[in-house]
Every structure is written in structure tokens, then in C-alpha cells.
Amino acid sequence: MASFRDQGLVLRHYNLGEADRIIVLFTRAHGLLRCVAKGVRRTRSRFGARLEPFTLIDVQIYPGRNLNTITEAVTVETFNARIVADYERYTAAASVLEAVERLLGEEEQPNPQLFDLTVGVMGALSYGRRSPQQMVDTYLLRAMAEAGWAPELDKCAVCGAEGPHQAFHPAAGGVVCVKHRPPGSATPMAGVLEYLRSLRDARWDRADSIAGDKKLGRRVQEEAHQLIVSHLQWHTERKITAFDLAAEAERGHWR
């Protein structure tokens, strides 16, 4: 089989044997890939730090029956240094990488739009243009839409009745009307659903106005984040552990 070249974002890695590593990549044209980087743990490895998480690389890959092999890697952009320098940014970025791996699911299923979105949020987190939690929540709403799991925030997710509706249930697919509200539905406080719609639609002035309320802004953001997380984890059927670290970092931000 012929080797191929692609751009990839390093999501994570784990050790293999004494000197090698498995690198989990989200590539633009080939989707999620697991690749062996031979000798990468040796002091004089030709790969250096290019295969660390939060790094965008141009990579040459030789396909294998069970695992691919990285034969060359060139750094396109490294978000690592700026992200790891700030714990809140780091935990937010880690939650993005874990979430996108869950959203991709099967290997070798290309999603160029999701790839561009993920690289974009790495850049935004790296340069600190907005609060980390707001950037992550906006990313997750758009990423779930790309994956086909966008939460319905306007009409009843069950019957399509026009809103506004006051209840939300992940299993139903988002907001639900009184008639079709399942047991255990959440009833978000005032402003939460409007805040989510503002993030989804990139209405930053409105989102900032809601989040900036001195009395309720923090609670609105926390509830909105929990709805996004519960919706994502319901549909991926996996707990995303990095969200716990991100929540701790966010609580520290408010102290």
C-alpha cells in the first residue's frame, strides 16, 4: 500500500514497548488515525516534540493492517506552549481533544469541517480571545452539529412545536414542550437557553450580556455548560473525564 501525506492534530499518545508510541491523530482527509511513531521516546528521536498533544503537523503515513506508521512529521503550528502555560486553558483544550475523539467514533471517517473547527478552537484557546469555557461550549455546540447530534434549542425536539420551551432532556434531543416532557427533564434557569442559542449563532454581544450579569451570569454559564456536557455524553455514550478537570479550573477562576 502506498504511503500518504495529510495534516493532523495530535490528540493524545500512549507508550508502546520500550521506545515507541501510539499517536492518536485527527487528520483532515483521513479522519481519526492511530499510528506508531518508532523510536520517539529515545533522546535523539528525529521527531523531537512534534508528536505532543495540541500540535498541528504535516505528516507522512505508511498504512498498515492494524496500525499505521508515521515516517515523517513537520510542525505546522504548535499550540502547546501557550495552552499548557495556563491551567484553565489547558483543561479546556484537553476536554476539546477528548470530546472530538468521542465524536469521531470510528477511525478513517473524514470530517474536514470538524477538523477545521477543532484546529480553530485550539488557536482561540491558545491566544485567549474569549473565556476558555465559553470557547469550549461554543465549539461543542458546533462540533455536535457537524456530527449530527446538535441539541434542538428552538422547537420541541419531539413534536416540533415552536418555542420558547422551558425543559431540556438529552435523550429527547434538546428542548421539549410540556406535553412531551420526559421524566427527569432539566428546567434551566432563565437565560440559560437564550445563552446557548447566542453561542450557537455567534451572537457574542448577547452572550456576553447574559454572562456578564453580576448576580446570575456565573450560574447561567455553569448550567449551560452542564446541559451541553450531558447532551454530548448521552449521545457518545461515554463520560469525558477532562470535563471534571475543566470544571475545577473554572471554579478556581471564580474564586
What are the helix (H) ranges across the chain? 80-84, 87-104, 112-127, 132-147, 192-200, 204-211, 217-236, 242-254
Residue range 141-155: average pLDDT?
95
Q: How many Å apart are CA 209 and CA 187, to the nearest integer?
A: 21
- Rounded mean pLDDT of the chain? 91
Residue 251 confidence (pLDDT): 58
pLDDT digits (tens, 9 = 90+) for 28-54: 999 999 999 988 887 677 777 889 999
Q: Kindly report, residue by residue over 202-221, the tens digit of the pLDDT.
A: 999 999 999 888 888 899 99
Q: Where are the domains of the chain?
A: 4-78, 83-254
Residue 221 vs residues 71, 157, 191: alpha-carbon distances, Å: 44, 22, 9
Q: How far is CA 60 from CA 1, 63, 66, 179, in A?
A: 13, 10, 17, 55
Residue 253: pLDDT band with limits 50, 70, 90:
low
Q: How far apart are the first and last CA of the chain?
A: 56
User: pLDDT grade, residue 179 (50/70/90)?
Assistant: very high
Residue 182 scores a pLDDT above 90: yes
What DSSP line would sit under 17-70, residue for residue? Answer: TTTEEEEEEEETTTEEEEEEETTTTSTT-TTTTTTSTTEEEEEEEE--SS-EEE
- Output the pTM of the full model: 0.90
165: confidence class by pLDDT, cuts 50, 70, 90: very high
**The CATH homologous superfamily of the domain defined by 4-78:** Nucleic acid-binding proteins (2.40.50.140)
Please give the Cα distance from 21 to 23 (Å, whole number): 6
Q: State yes or no: pLDDT of 187 exceeds 60.
A: yes
- At the fourth CATH level, which superfamily is domain 83-254? Recombination protein O, C-terminal domain (1.20.1440.120)
